[in-house]
Amino acid sequence: MADQKKMVEAITSRDVDFAKWYTDIVRKAELADYSSVRGCMVLRPYGYAIWENIQKILDAKFKATGHENVAMPMFIPESLLQKEKDHVEGFAPEVAWVTHGGSEKLNERLCVRPTSETLFCEHYRNIISSYRDLPKLYNQWCSVVRWEKTTRPFLRTTEFWWQEGHTIHETAEEAVEETLRMLEIYAEVLEKHLAIPILKGRKTEKEKFAGARDTYSVEAMMHDGKALQSATSHYFGDDFARAFGITFQGRDNTQQYPFQTSWGMSTRVIGAIIMTHGDDNGLKLPPDVAPIQIVVVPVAQHKEGVLEAARELTARLKQNWRVKLDESDNSAGWKFAEYEMKGVPLRIELGPKDIQEGQCVVVRRDNRQKYFVKLEQLEAQLPGIMEEYRQAIYQSAYENRAAKTFTATNLEEMAAHADDGYIKAMWCGKLECELAIKEKFGITSRCIPFEQEKISDTCVCCQQPAKEMVVWGKAY
C-alpha cells in the first residue's frame, strides 16, 4: 500500500491546480513527451494507441457514409495558399515556411500545411469536369502545423494529428446536408464512444473558420468548467470553387461552380478525454478507445495455481476484449494504482481464495465498486458492467456540466458566472456585443446551439431585441 500511496501523491490534485494536474497525467500515464522542437510533442505508445482506437471508429463511420481516404502533399506553395482571401488571412500568420531544399534557395516559399483546403481545391480542379464526377467525398489522416505561441500537450501544439474531410458537391443543398451529417457523426463519436456530453451548434461570424460560410461545432465542457471545441464541420458554399476556378458541366450543359465542405477532429480530443473524465487517481478511459479495457491482477501470485489461473482467464477474455495480465513482481497495490492512473475501465482481481470459490472480483475504475462474479458467468456479465461504467462516466460529466451551466439576462449576471462554466444568454447578433463580452469577461461565444431556449427578450449586452441564444464560456 506504500507504493500505491506514493503513486497517488505524485499527482497534483485536480482541485488544487487543474493545469498542473493535467500535465501530471499526460506525463505519468505516458501519453506524450516533449521534444526539442518548441511546441511539438511525441505521442507515446499509450497515447498513440488511444488515437488509433479513435481513428478506427471514425474511419469506419466515414467509409460507411461513402468517404474515401487520400493523401495530399504536406507542402502548399505560397501562391496557392493566397488564392482564397479570407483563408490566407486566417492562416498565413501561423504557418511554418520552407525556404530551402538541400542547399538551394527555393523560388517560391512553401508552407507546411496548416489545413489542406487549397490542396484539395487544386486537385479537384484537375479531376472534375462533369456533374458525373460529383460528389467527391474525401478524407485524409495526417498531421498539420500551426505556429503556436503557447502550447500544451494535446490541447494546443505546433504540430497535431487529425483527419480532415474535404467534399465537393453538385448542389448547395447536398453540401449543407454533408456538413450537418458529419457534425452528427462527431456528436455520436463523442457522446457514445467517448462518453463526453456535447453541445451542437453553429459558430458566430467572428468564430467561424477562415473562408467558411458556416462553421458548426461540437463543444464539450471540461471538469473545470471551461469549454473545449471538439470537432468542427464547415460549409463553404462555392467560394473556394470560384477562387480556384473549379467548374463542372451541369445536367443542363452549363458550366457551374460546385459546393464544398470540410470537417475535422484531432488529437485534441485526447485532451478532452483527460479533462472530462480524469480524477486525482489519473485517467478514466472510455471503454471503446481504452488500449487496455480490462487488466487482470493476480493476488498472491506466488501461490500455487494463481498465475496459471490468471493466464487462463486472460486468454479467455482476450477473445472479446483488449486485456492485459500484469505478472510483474510489483505489489498488487502498486498495480492497482498504476492501472487506475492509466484509466483502465475494469480491473479483475484473482487470488487463491477466489480460485477456490470459482470466482473473481471485478472492480470499476470510476468508483471502485466491486462485483464478485462466478468465473463461468464472467463473459455474460462483463458487457453489462462495462456499460454501467461507460454510462457512469458519461453521467458524471453530464452532471458536472449541468452544475456549471448558468443563465444571464444582463452583464451583471454574466459577471457573476464568467469564470464558472457555460453561460446561456440571448444575443442581438451584433459583433460589437460579442467583442464587448470578450473584452469584459474574457469569454467567447462557444456556439449558437441547435436547441434554442428563450432566456430573455433582449441581448445580454446591449438590451436590444435578441435574435438567438448563445452559449458563452472560457475555452481551451
- List residues near a copy of itself by CB under 8 A: 33, 35-37, 40-45, 48-49, 51-52, 68-77, 80, 92-104, 110, 112, 119, 122-123, 126-127, 138, 142-143, 145, 147, 158-159, 161
User: For 355-421, where are the E strands, in sequence order?
Assistant: 359-364, 370-374, 405-407
> 143 or 464: whose CB is closer to a copy of itself?
143
**Spatial contact of 134 and 128, defined as CB atoms under 8 Å apart:** yes
Question: CB of residue 67 vs a copy of itself: minimum separation in angstroms?
Answer: 9
The 3-state DSSP class for residue 163 equals strand
CA angle 24, 30, 34 (to 5 degrees): 75
The 3-state DSSP class for residue 254 equals coil
Question: CB of residue 95 vs a copy of itself: minimum separation in angstroms?
Answer: 7
Question: CB of residue 427 vs a copy of itself: minimum separation in angstroms?
Answer: 32
> 38 or 440: whose CB is closer to a copy of itself?
38
**Spatial contact of 156 and 148, defined as CB atoms under 8 Å apart:** yes
Question: CB of residue 17 vs a copy of itself: minimum separation in angstroms?
Answer: 24
Question: CB of residue 412 vs a copy of itself: minimum separation in angstroms?
Answer: 39
Question: CB of residue 451 vs a copy of itself: minimum separation in angstroms?
Answer: 37
Alpha helices in 287-377 (DSSP H): 306-317, 332-341, 352-357
Distances (CA, A) of 159 to 30, 99, 114, 207, 360: 19, 19, 9, 22, 45
Q: How far apart are the first and last CA of the chain?
A: 37
> 139 or 217: whose CB is closer to a copy of itself?
139
> 166 or 202: whose CB is closer to a copy of itself?
166
Question: CB of residue 100 vs a copy of itself: minimum separation in angstroms?
Answer: 4
User: For 113-184, where are the E strands, in sequence order?
Assistant: 136-145, 159-169
The 3-state DSSP class for residue 475 equals strand
* Residue 278 neighbours by CB distance under 10 Å: 23
Question: CB of residue 13 vs a copy of itself: minimum separation in angstroms?
Answer: 26
**Spatial contact of 411 and 207, defined as CB atoms under 8 Å apart:** no
> 126 or 150: whose CB is closer to a copy of itself?
126
> 156 or 430: whose CB is closer to a copy of itself?
156
Question: CB of residue 84 vs a copy of itself: minimum separation in angstroms?
Answer: 15
Sign of the four-CA dihedral 334, 340, 344, 349: positive
> 72 or 459: whose CB is closer to a copy of itself?
72
Place of cell 445580454: 460
Question: CB of residue 246 vs a copy of itself: minimum separation in angstroms?
Answer: 14
> 18 or 147: whose CB is closer to a copy of itself?
147
**Spatial contact of 193 and 57, defined as CB atoms under 8 Å apart:** yes
Distances (CA, A) of 234 to 242, 397, 404: 17, 27, 28
> 77 or 250: whose CB is closer to a copy of itself?
77
| Burial category of 148 from C-beta neighbours within 10 Å (exposed 0-12, middle 13-18, buried 19 and up) | middle
> 70 or 180: whose CB is closer to a copy of itself?
70
> 217 or 261: whose CB is closer to a copy of itself?
261
Question: CB of residue 152 vs a copy of itself: minimum separation in angstroms?
Answer: 15
Interacting residues of 318 by C-beta distance below 8 A, sequence separation 6+? none
Question: CB of residue 74 vs a copy of itself: minimum separation in angstroms?
Answer: 6
Q: H or E stretch including 242?
A: helix 239-244
| Burial category of 472 from C-beta neighbours within 10 Å (exposed 0-12, middle 13-18, buried 19 and up) | buried
How far, in Å, CA of 237 to CA of 173, rounded? 10
Total residues belonging to the chain: 476
> 105 or 454: whose CB is closer to a copy of itself?
105
